[in-house]
């Protein structure tokens, strides 16, 4: 049964190389606590690859005969084929082999074995590792990918391919093999990876990190990759272990394979973490020892925090950004955001500091205006701050345009357990249109979106600052947006699945999970706004809130650029802030997820390339929108010109 965990369980399978009877094979695997088996699809031997045979015309070779490993589909009930068996295509198959006869035989065998796998409706089929170039391989795979499939297609990809000759040349990243195949297969979402652990060449973990952005469905761990610890037990090297722990969070399955080429446990970890041959270490380790180790690793994962538990349903789930100016939010949406354990604590702290500073300047009897009050959490934070600052004479306004939220505010004035609510003055109306002779000492708002200004905080606060005293304070005082180039196969495929231009030109809110940050720089700032802004021209246009920015990044590894992740940082007051920047994350805060700006076509990036992006914030009388494009290392189309696909209504 699966290894129990929280919130997910881990399924572990065993790869077997030869079977006599399917029922016996499955029963033995279950006794050994494996959840599924991986079996060869065929017994057909590889053709002779001697020089003479390699150049024999295909029609002179003996006829190809497919010999299934399982005698027939009747060997198991269909539910067992679909839930407990994965098939693996013969490793000798090389559709892009330079030898014509071998290549032709490989193409025939690949097609036949995949037909058999589809007939069995196996849970998944593991296809052989491609070689460069892999044009024939892609040509065989595409018809299958374009037809209804009854099995998942996983391609066996090693972490790295060692040099052809010892001491000669460099190792090849397995990612390069995968990248060419998926490009030739049109980024098809049904093509996935079974990632095989091999020795890791080089010290830069970017070669591992990039796999977190790929559709890795299983990890194949051969027993000869294990090392032996001081007590004689099999363990993974530090880098393999850390990488596997990260993959666990991506719901991979594990496939254990006993390799007879090197006795399990025959390598040991040195003090520095390198690998070498041990002397006198226990030999013949049972598979149970390896399974126990993997299970213990999985169960040692840190429990998810409250914020992480909240985020689980939203991982890599595309959401259209909220438009609270154009639309009235629903009660459920308000309730979700009000559960944030960090945001309102930070607002309260900022208010306390601001009130204390103003009191020190002799400014008493403060007037606080909460604009965009919603159902009142910022009003409550204001009341708490007044109490903490020991201020008894005060005035608090709650301004809200949503008539449904106003009902909630009025109800709290009448009956909230906090008696100070009785003194709150509720105003029903748009902050940009409300008129009053009262002037505020502190203007409090929470109009931020995932990209800072994408819920039109600048436009709203420009309209509301007319009733702020000239020496008054806006909370927040400053915020800026930022971007970083990312690779994220999952999100690109999800956006592409809509099969229209509109979604490829829409910025989506998403909790990024399966992604790779391509650059060494965590982010580059894009648009910045400060409040109050007393330099707004005395006109009715919005030109002062338009922006244009160019950002530049250096790629830390070969990768595929799918778009840009967007973030924001907000200074509430002095050193009190809220942020979703990777480097300044407000831990535990879940009110905002990053935003994703997709590219219509992914761009292949080489290590050291300069990635140059361009972003605009534009507007007209009715809407605000973003435009974006890439100019280096190769140009992309301008996305969303004129706000044709995505905009924020005023």
pLDDT, one tens digit per residue, over 548-587 is 999 999 999 999 999 999 999 999 999 999 999 999 999 9
User: Tell me, what's the pLDDT at 171?
Assistant: 73
Asked if 428 and 400 touch (Cβ cutoff 8 Å), the reply is: yes
Residue 14: enclosing H or E segment and its boundaries? strand 12-15
Q: Is 431 annotated as a binding residue?
A: yes
Mean pLDDT, rounded, for 518-546: 90
Domain 331-446, what architecture?
Answer: 3-Layer(aba) Sandwich (3.40)
- pLDDT value at 409 more than 70: yes
Cis bond before residue 450 (omega within 30° of 0): no
Work out the average pLDDT over 183-196: 96
Task: Retrieve residue 395's tokens.
Answer: 């005035």
Residue range 355-368: average pLDDT?
Answer: 96
Helical axes 238-248 vs 287-299, angle rounded to 10°: 60
In angstroms, rounded to a whole number, what is the distance separating the alpha carbons of residues 27 and 22? 9
Q: What are the tens digits of pLDDT across the range 115-142?
A: 999 999 999 999 999 999 999 999 999 9
CA distance 175 to 211: 8
pLDDT score for 539? 59
Of the candidates 348, 455, 459, 627, the residue annotated as catalytic is 455
Which tens digits make up the pLDDT trace of 61-89? 678 899 999 888 998 999 999 999 999 99
Instruction: Give pLDDT, residue 125.
Output: 96
The mean per-residue pLDDT over the stretch 24-37 comes to: 93
- pLDDT score of 273 more than 60: no
203 in a known ligand binding site? no
Between 322 and 194, name the one with better pLDDT.
194
Whether 455 sits among the annotated catalytic residues: the reply is yes
Helix, strand or coil, per DSSP, at residue 396 = strand
In the Cβ-directed half-sphere of 1, how many Cα atoms lie within 13 Å?
2
> DSSP letter at 129?
P
Taking residues 82-108, report their average pLDDT.
93
- Summarised one tens digit per residue, pLDDT across range 32-57 is 999 999 999 999 998 876 654 555 66
pLDDT of residue 1: 59
* Distance between first and last Cα of the chain: 55
Assessment of whether the complete model's pTM goes beyond 0.85? yes
Q: Same fold for the domain at 12-312 and the one at 479-649? A: no
Asked if residue 344 belongs to a known ligand binding site, the reply is yes
Dist CA 128 CA 154 (whole Å)? 9
pLDDT for 67 equals: 92
Q: How many Cβ atoms are within 10 Å of 164's Cβ, its own excluded?
A: 8
- Structure token digits, residue 510: 């998403």
Q: What is the CATH number of domain 479-649?
A: 2.70.160.11
Instruction: State in words which class domain 12-312 has.
Output: alpha beta
Q: In the predicted model, what is the mean pLDDT of residues 218-231?
A: 93
Tell me, what's the pLDDT at 625? 97
Q: Tens digits of per-residue pLDDT, 582-608?
A: 999 999 999 999 999 999 999 999 999
Q: How high is the pLDDT of residue 274?
A: 39
Domain positions in the chain are 12-312, 331-446, 479-649
Using CA atoms, how far apart are residues 126 and 37, in angstroms rounded to an integer? 12
Query: Which one from 15, 214, 446, 459 is the annotated catalytic residue?
Result: 446
Average pLDDT over residues 254-265: 68
Q: Can 446 be counted among the known catalytic residues?
A: yes
């Amino acid at each position: 049964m699966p290894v129990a965990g929280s919130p997910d369980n881990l399924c572990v399978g065993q790869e077997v190389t030869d079977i006599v009877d399917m029922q016996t094979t499955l029963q033995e695997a279950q006794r050994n606590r494996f959840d599924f088996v991986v079996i060869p699809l065929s017994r057909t031997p590889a053709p002779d690859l001697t020089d003479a045979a390699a150049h024999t015309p295909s029609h002179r070779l003996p006829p190809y005969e497919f010999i299934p490993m399982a005698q027939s589909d009747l060997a198991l009930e269909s539910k067992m084929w679909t839930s407990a068996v994965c098939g693996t295509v013969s490793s000798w198959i090389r559709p892009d082999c330079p030898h014509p006869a071998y290549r032709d035989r490989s193409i025939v065998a690949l097609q036949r074995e995949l037909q058999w796998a589809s007939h069995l409706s196996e849970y998944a089929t593991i296809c052989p590792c491609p070689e460069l170039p892999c044009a024939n391989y892609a040509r065989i795979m595409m018809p299958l990918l374009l037809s209804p499939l009854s099995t998942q297609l996983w391609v066996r990809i090693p972490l790295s391919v060692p040099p052809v000759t010892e001491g000669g040349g460099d190792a090849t990243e397995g990612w390069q093999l995968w990248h060419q195949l998926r490009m030739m297969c049109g980024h098809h979402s049904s093509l996935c990876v079974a990632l095989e652990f091999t020795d890791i060449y080089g010290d830069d973990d970017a070669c591992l990190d990039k796999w977190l952005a790929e559709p890795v469905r299983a990890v194949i761990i051969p027993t000869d990759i294990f090392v032996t610890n001081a007590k004689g037990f099999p363990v993974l090297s530090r880098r393999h272990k850390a990488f596997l722990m990260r993959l666990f969070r991506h719901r991979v399955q594990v496939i254990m394979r006993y390799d007879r080429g090197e006795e399990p446990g025959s390598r040991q970890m040195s003090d520095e973490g390198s690998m070498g041959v041990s002397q006198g270490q226990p030999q013949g380790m049972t598979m149970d020892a390896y399974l126990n180790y993997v299970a213990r690793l999985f169960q040692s994962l840190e429990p998810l925090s409250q914020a992480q538990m909240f985020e689980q349903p939203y991982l890599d789930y595309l959401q259209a950004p909220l438009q609270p100016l154009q639309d009235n939010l629903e009660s459920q949406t308000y309730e979700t955001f009000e559960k944030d354990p960090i945001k309102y604590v930070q607002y309260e702290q900022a208010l306390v500091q601001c009130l204390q500073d103003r009191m020190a300047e002799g400014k008493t009897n403060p007037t606080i205006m909460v604009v965009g009050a919603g159902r009142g959490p910022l009003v409550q934070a204001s009341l708490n701050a007044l109490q903490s600052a020991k201020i008894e004479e005060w005035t608090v306004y709650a301004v809200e345009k949503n008539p449904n939220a106003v009902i909630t505010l009025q109800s709290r004035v009448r009956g909230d357990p906090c008696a100070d609510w009785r003194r709150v003055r509720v105003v029903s109306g748009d902050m940009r249109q409300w008129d009053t002779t009262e002037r505020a000492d502190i203007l409090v708002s929470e109009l931020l979106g995932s990209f800072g200004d994408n819920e039109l905080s600048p436009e709203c606060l420009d309209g509301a600052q007319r009733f702020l005293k000239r020496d008054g304070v806006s909370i927040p005082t400053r915020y800026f947006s930022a971007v970083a180039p990312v690779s994220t196969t999952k999100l690109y495929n999800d956006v592409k699945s809509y099969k229209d231009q509109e979604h490829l030109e829409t910025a989506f809110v998403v909790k990024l999970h399966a992604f790779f940050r391509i650059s060494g720089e965590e982010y580059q700032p894009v648009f910045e706004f400060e409040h109050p802004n007393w330099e707004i021209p005395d006109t009715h246009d919005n030109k002062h809130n338009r922006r244009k920015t160019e950002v530049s990044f250096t790629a830390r590894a070969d990768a595929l650029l799918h778009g840009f992740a967007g973030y924001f940082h907000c200074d509430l007051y002095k050193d009190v802030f809220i942020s979703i920047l990777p480097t300044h994350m407000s831990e535990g805060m879940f009110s905002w997820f990053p935003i994703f700006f997709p590219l219509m076509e992914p761009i292949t990036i080489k290590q050291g390339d300069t990635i140059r992006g361009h972003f605009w914030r534009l507007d007209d009388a009715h809407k605000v929108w973003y435009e974006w494009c890439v100019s280096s290392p190769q140009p992309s189309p301008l996305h969303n010109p004129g706000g044709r696909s995505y905009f924020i209504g005023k």
